[in-house]
Chains A and B, each alone.
Chain A
């Protein structure tokens, strides 16, 4: 860490108002892209790359960094307001954010989300700035067995996001695990369950599933009750949570941020997993796990600080090793390469004039996001007061566009509609959507790394237990599965008498 260079980096970004303007444009564009279902920060960055050609490389890059930051936060806006996560990163926030909205506290949920995002994002950016080389070493420790164990640990979260019935959550999870089996298998080289279809060869991707699971099913339910649904009065006054409220979630935010940075730093795991793990752990270790899912601040603060902290973590292996930490950093890596700064171990030596402004922009972007977010929250929250008869068709349209835009594919539009119909009935019978999403994200990671590890060990399964990091994750995973099962179950039993009344209230 070179303080002089960092100061120069800050100077480069801050002293030139044009650079600040680009961070601002990036963050604002990111929030909008993130909030629109189906449009992701990944896509936003890819779309903006050509516009950075004509700019000074640093200006272009700080704009992309701003977009990355804004995009992750933006996802929670639609999660909270319409119950449809803008990107997979916002899916965990939906659980409590949308519940708060139903209670008329959308404003407060939005305020909490901004503050948690800023908090997590800042911690992530600071850790990235000051500990990149150390974190890169951790990333290198992860081989196939470790990835398998980490994903196994992640799947344990299904228990805590299952809602009222753990059994139904597991059934959803297994359905989710089966979907990624479709497509080309990079390990054996065989097309699986594609029935000769070229489109299915690429597998079922995350975004159409996300839109089907949460978007269409939400639209279908909305249509069902379009005329009888009472208008929700949203409280817009208390946007910023009280200091005492922030204090109660402070420890959750710190813990989630650290989880987020770590998950980001492991190549191949991104903001979506960070959000779910943070949420799951906050719920498991909470004194009142039964309250999660009913609309509490912790349930918003945990995933939002987790996923934004993940951004900083994900930058580390990309910058230091040339291995993207997640999908967005993969595109950022392309952007750096196009500007002739190839990420990797030599980047810090060859191009400090680019690395340090990136650090500075990442930190600055968090503050810009805080202001834009708080400023915009009041405006966004007003959107839910739009008549459902107008809002529902608009959301439907956004879902169609969103599922198409990822790969310019009508096939994906079809996939998301089919998933949407399935999800509608799942919802009807009380099968939660989040485990499906979590399983789709982690499924390929579990499967491929299980097989890869066994290839390395010649079929000997002890490879997962003889390597310390791998063994640790397996045992922590088992511990978390068992304790969350008992704690959640106990809490739900305690809840049981009052829960039936609440269910009624929710189904209205």
Chain B
């Protein structure tokens, strides 16, 4: 009896094993894919990720489930993807912070630890003042700041954030002394500017959409090469009179663990491209003011390498460069 059961178990196990390998070789994906989001549910990155994979079933044949693995300033979630099994069933959203971890001495992680899939969106910073502020243009603000060093206070999303670095680089270029007030995220920073607690708030452009449309803030500039479709009267940084050739972008992209078999990686790349091109996703990004930009794996790598080079001097200027070789 015992023998029989043992034999049966072996047969069952072998057949499961065989069918498993066969199934996998023939068809990928054969089960749901996990998309790790390194930031909390409800936040900007989470919202984008969830919308991106809303219709995944149509494009992959299986669902892509979002899992929020938060903590460590995104490093826990992003790190977990690099160490996940490279079977193609775990994919992660990577964000701006990945360019900082090594240089700020926070975590030994960079874009080099991933098989990159694609870029999802990128956007520049924007500076807003309260609707009743005496400053009408960026020139007003900079001139005032030059005449009164240390009087202008600028709220941003926290030390090392894209908002922080963009502001620091502007200050460096124009040699003005602006008091940086780091908040814990963009939401409190933009509320503080509406409430009059700081002179100016630096956020990414899409983060002030509702306040801009509600005429609670004036947006002084948008750091990009062309105007934004939802902010027709907001000048680019060059139009505002302070051209900057080296724009630091906030970005979101997709990456898989290193070592995913090439054929599976191709399925992922094609599938996510279809999710990205899905009209529902594009419409939502358009309405939210998110500039979706597709870069394939190769160009994404070049882009991220460029970003790291721009971060280094910016981080150094605010005393956050602690690069470990």
A residues in contact (CB < 8 Å) with B: 42-43, 45-46, 49-50, 53, 139-144, 184-191, 198-203, 205, 267-268, 317, 321-324, 330-335, 337-338, 340, 342-347, 407-409, 444, 448, 452, 455-456, 458
Q: Looking at the complex, which one of B69, B184, B318 makes contact with A407 (CB distance below 8 Å)?
A: B69
Q: Report Cα–Cα, A444/B183, bound state, in Å.
A: 12
B198 touches A456 (CB 8 A): yes
Query: How far is B284's CA from A53's CA once the two chains are assembled, in angstroms?
Result: 14
Contact call B192/A345, Cβ cutoff below 8 A: no
Shortest 7 CB-CB contacts between residues of A and residues of B: A344-B210, A345-B214, A189-B159, A143-B197, A202-B71, A334-B42, A46-B41
A322 touching B192, Cβ below 8 Å? no
Q: Are B210 and A342 in contact (CB under 8 A)?
A: yes
With the chains together, A53 CA to B104 CA distance in Å?
39
Contact of B213 among A139, A205, A345 (CB under 8 A): A345
Complex: A103 Cα to B209 Cα, angstroms:
55
Once bound together, how far apart are the Cα atoms of A139 and B190, in whole Å? 13
Interface-central residue, A45, A139, A143, by most chain B CB under 10 Å: A143
A323 touches B187 (CB 8 A): yes
Which residues of chain B are within 8 angstroms of A203 by Cβ–Cβ distance? 71
Q: Are B198 and A338 in contact (CB under 8 A)?
A: no
Q: Are A455 and B50 in contact (CB under 8 A)?
A: no
Nearest opposing residue in chain A for B130, CB measure: A140
Determine the distance from Cα of A344 to Cα of B196 in the docked complex, in whole angstroms.
Answer: 18
B188 touches A323 (CB 8 A): yes
Q: Which residues of B contact A340 (CB under 8 A)?
A: 284, 287
What would be 9 A-B contacts, judged by CB atoms less than 8 Å apart? A144-B181, A200-B72, A322-B210, A323-B191, A324-B187, A335-B42, A409-B71, A444-B184, A456-B179
Q: Residue on A with the closest CB to B185? A: A186
A residues in contact with B188, CB < 8 Å: 267-268, 323
**Smallest Cβ distance from A328 to chain B, in angstroms?**
9
Is B160 among interface residues, defined by CB-CB distance under 8 A?
A: yes
- Residues 60-85 of B at the A interface (beta carbon under 8 Å): 65-73, 75-76, 79
Complex Cα–Cα for A409 and B210 (A): 35
Contact A452/B183 with A142-B195, A322-B211 known, Cβ cut-off 8 Å: yes
Q: How far, in whole Å, are A63 and B160 apart by their CA atoms in the complex? A: 38
Whether a CB of chain A sits under 8 angstroms from the CB of B150 is yes
* Contact residues, B8-59 vs A (CB, 8 A): 40-43, 46-47, 50-51, 54
Asked if A334 and B41 make an inter-chain contact with CB atoms under 8 angstroms apart, the answer reads yes
Q: Which residues of A contact B42 (CB under 8 A)?
A: 45-46, 324, 330-335
Contact residues in A for B65 (Cβ distance below 8 Å): 50
Using known A-B contacts A201-B72, A344-B210, A407-B70, determine if residue A452 contacts B182 with beta carbons closer than 8 Å.
yes
Q: Is A186 touching B150 in the complex (CB atoms < 8 A)?
A: no
Residues of A within 8 A of B282 (CB): none
In the complex, chain A residues whose CB is within 8 Å of the CB of B68: 46, 407
Across the interface, B41 reaches (CB within 8 A) one of A42, A321, A456, namely A42
Task: Tell me if A330 and B153 are in contact (CB < 8 A).
Answer: no
